Amino acid sequence: FGVGFYSAFLVADKVTVVTKAADGEQLRWESTEASTYTISKDDSAPIEETGTRLILTLKEEADKYTDDFTLRDLLKKYSEFISFPIELWTEKTEYDQVPDPDAEVKEGEEPPMKSVPRKTNVWEKVNAAKPLWMRAPKDVSKEEYEEFYKTTFRAYDAPEAHVHFSLEGQVEFRAMLFCPGSVPWELTQDMFNDKVKPIKLFVKRVFISDSFDEQLLPRWLSFLKGVVDSEALPLNVS
């Protein structure tokens, strides 16, 4: 396990991993506060074929992570461009049309209907965005660039121009930079606003940071918007 896995103990008192390999027995790895761990055979709900089940026993002060909105916001921020699907067990409200027993029914007419709410739980995919920077520029249309720019940077205007490139060397990365069609709102309030975050850094499509204090772009280019993604950097680069 790496640093990313053990960060689970920031919010959990106990972490349980149930896993099963092909043609192997189902095993349980369990640790409390990352101090010691045990490995044993597992007799919980069987995993079909192969797979892994991760169970976090949350700390009392971490109960906010059971909230649908909080989880959805975190997944959208950090894992929006992950290639494999991430689904959230969420509650949906649907409405059924049923006859209204309290309404007056006129002879020869259909009985009046009313809407009755019905709650259901479904798995909902939350990372639907596509990492356009992973594709060759010739394969990306103008409309796709515009949609990506508006969605990723919450912009209402189309970009005036863009550049899409990759670099190979000591550090390899892919990047896309956009020149907005109008001055970003935050800069209309203060052209020297040090809270402007023009560049988003990703490592293997995982969002890392957007705070760099002019390390990636000088202040006079802070009107630009862009993403940089590297396969060569470690996930704990920040």
Instruction: Quote the CA–CA distance of 130 and 133 in Å, as a whole number.
Output: 9
pLDDT in tens, the chain (238 residues): 566 788 889 999 999 999 999 888 999 999 998 788 999 999 999 998 899 999 999 999 998 998 999 999 999 888 888 888 999 998 888 898 888 888 777 777 788 888 889 999 999 998 888 899 999 999 999 999 999 999 888 888 899 999 999 988 888 899 999 998 887 766 666 666 666 778 899 998 989 888 876 677 777 787 889 999 998 777 666 5
Q: Give the N- to C-terminal CA distance of the chain in Å, as an integer.
A: 19
Q: Identify which of 119, 114, 124, 115 has the alpha carbon closest to the alpha carbon of residue 94.
A: 119
d(CA 88, CA 67): 11
Tell me the C-alpha distance between 65 and 57, whole Å: 11
